[in-house]
Amino acid sequence: KLFEDFMQGLLRGCPTRKWKMFLPVEFQIVRQGHTKFDWHLLEKNVMYRWYNKLDQTIRNFWTVFHKLPEQKKKMFLAFLSGSDQIPGYGLEHFTFSIEDAQAENPDEIFLSANTCSCILFLPR
């Protein structure tokens, strides 16, 4: 009974005729996002504001990031975007910004993120 109720609600919101346009693997990506990550491609797609990619803070950030285990990198992605998955359109189109938090004393503020806009506020 519970499953039937669930299935009725699901089919009302997402009729099966629309599912047929996808191959099973494509539908899984649409529903769950991508599960394989090219973290260097993520780095390549970053935009910087009040930083450039050669600043020591940015180089330190990426050095530390690439040394993290896979699970911690996914946790960072969740911190940044609200999800540990890459949307169905793919990592090559996923961009985020790293901005200088512009604090008078950067040692007194924490790393923060705006998940709606995928902005990482990185103190110097």
Side-by-side strand order, sheet with 119-122 = 47-49, 97-100, 119-122, 112-114
25 and 78 in contact (C-beta within 8 Å)?
A: no
Residue in 2, 23, 64, 116 annotated catalytic: 116
Q: Is 14 a catalytic residue?
A: no
CB atoms within 10 A of CB 86: 23
Catalytic positions, written as ranges: 116
